[in-house]
Homo-oligomer: A and B are copies of this chain.
Amino acid sequence: MITWNNLDTLEAFKNLSKAERVNIAEAMSGENGAERVKTYSTPMAEGLAYNYAAKQVDDKLLEDLQKLADEAQLTEKFEALYNGEVINTGEKRMVLHHLTRGQLGEAVNADGTDKRAFYKEQQQKIADFANKVHAGEITNAAGEKFTTVVQIGIGGSDLGPRAMYLALENWAKKNDTFKMEAKFISNVDPDDAAAVLYGIDVAHSIFILVSKSGTTLETLTNESFVKDALKNAGLDASKHMIAVTSETSPLAKSDDYLAAFFMDDYIGGRYSSTSAVGGAVLSLAFGPEVFERFLNGAAEEDRLGTEKDIRKNPAMLDALIGVYERNVLGYPSTAVLPYSQALSRFPAHLQQLDMESNGKCVNRFGERLDYVTGPVIFGEPGTNGQHSFYQLLHQGTDIIPLQFVGFKNNQMNTDVVIQGSTSQQKLCANVAAQIVAFACGKEDENRNKNFEGGRPSSIIIGEQLNPETLGALLSHFENKVMFQGFVWNVNSFDQEGVQLGKVLAKRVLAHETDGALKVLSDLMNI
């Protein structure tokens, strides 16, 4: 029997608040530190490992976190979710993105169909379509092959697929699976679409319109922009466009599209990278096999999320440490720092995933919470960040927990030796060094050069960023956010906070405003 309780009513949380603080500057020093790095590591899927040696935990605190996981029934709630319970209570919907990559539990039926079969069917339809495009069986009107794919979408229809595309672009080029270049149009700023269209050959481009409802204003506006460009080039837009939408949307059966692939209401935008939303663009760009390998990595990681032992469930452990940092230690933000240029937009995707899911101040029953929930998430790739905002991370007045990601090998397999080491070795040496620098600090008589240390971090380490490890990485963070939502007792799967701005913007465009909004609209020349 599952009960949904607020965090501050749980005995395990009250215990956790009383636990002695771990001094990581001390804990990470000497042989004790070496031992921590070896033992505070949890295997993930696809050879990845989650290492939390530099977090403010010890065996006693891990026990406390286990008790919190048990009392909050985290794995039971996950089980309910993947077995099709209505977890998104605000919108009264099931939450089924895990089914896009595997079947963790019972068959889930909805809309008169088995949902796992439905998602597989869409994946297969996309694969067939992509194969035909690559083989030159689906071409432009002149019978020429498409060379570029352009995704038109915003929010979850943009950030996730774009981050995944960038993560695998160079890998695919190196591994001869690169099929088509992908571009993305998202912003309603007309310069976004104009700049993308300026840089491509529209006659050889295929456009994917992504909108679940078929009514997203930014996306429809950009579609119109693209259709104008196609028309101006003397082309038939309907021969250049496909749709990813829900079966009930106005786009689903329209003749305006070469094909339509379906998603549904059980998959939130920010969780849609493994659905048709990511599937169409990634299958066209890299081939359906690469997309399937990405799904397999996510599925393998998902299975670890069912483990009750927090030391075997990296997403749940990561989630609980994050809650401890947020609600007990009082840290207001978290930095995501991948040491991989290919993950340049991965922090932006996690920013949406996390902040849109858990940036809520009411619980799942609509009651105001008395504790803080989702933190601010930000980040840039290392080593770039080291030459930028790391100054504040090392010596600022606030402590910011850090999430590093690093790979032993790069993707393109070209490198250069300078001062006795390769670039890849320098990259890896830097992330290792940062973990210790943040944790242990270094005393200096010149206080300006003094490092207090005590700044916690964890790292996910892998062999290489490839389709499988990317899938595992994505699943890890999706499930981490889900577990945190369970702990905080919020609904992580709606986003009512985006509505008010939309309503007011419509009012501005209809010139139905007064007061401050009227004057602001005048100032903006609307």
Contact = CB atoms under 8 A, between A and B. Distances in A.
Contacts of A273: none
Given A435-B520, A447-B362, A448-B491, A341 B191 contact: yes
A397 B359 CA distance: 7
A17 interface: no
Interface in A1-38: 28-31, 33-34, 36-38
Size band of the interface chain A makes with B = 35 or more
Interface stretch (A120-128, A283-291, A369-377): A369-377
B387 A509 contact: no
Contact of A376 (B352, B378, B412): B378
A191 to B, nearest CB: 5
A187 B383 contact: yes
Contacts of A342: 189, 191
A148 interface: no
A116 interface: no
Given A38-B519, A155-B388, A394-B497, A524 B228 contact: no
A110 interface: no
A526 B429 contact: yes
A143 interface: no
A436 B517 contact: yes
Contacts of A387: 154-156, 158, 218, 269, 352, 498
Contact of A190 (B37, B198, B361, B414): B414
A139 B276 CA distance: 48
Contact of A383 (B31, B34, B188, B430): B188
A393 interface: yes
Interface in A348-397: 348, 351-352, 355-362, 366-369, 371-378, 380-384, 386-397
A491 B391 CA distance: 13
Nearest to A366: B447
Contacts of A362: 395, 447-448, 450
Interface in A412-439: 412, 414-416, 418-437, 439
Contacts of A173: 198
Given A392-B497, A432-B508, A516-B34, A412 B341 contact: no
A500 interface: yes
22 contacts: A34-B515, A188-B430, A189-B381, A190-B412, A195-B412, A217-B418, A221-B423, A221-B426, A270-B388, A332-B398, A348-B388, A352-B387, A352-B389, A355-B396, A356-B390, A362-B447, A372-B397, A373-B396, A392-B497, A432-B508, A436-B520, A448-B496
Interface in A31-51: 31, 33-34, 36-38, 49, 51
A90 interface: yes
A329 interface: no
B376 A392 contact: yes
A495 interface: yes
Residue with the greatest number of chain B CB neighbours at <10 A, chosen from A51, A158, A384, A431: A384
Given A156-B387, A448-B366, A500-B451, A505 B433 contact: yes
A360 B396 contact: yes
Residue with the greatest number of chain B CB neighbours at <10 A, chosen from A169, A396, A507, A516: A516
B504 A448 contact: no
Residue with the greatest number of chain B CB neighbours at <10 A, chosen from A188, A375, A518: A188
Contacts of A53: 516
B388 A437 contact: no
A341 B37 contact: no
A83 interface: no
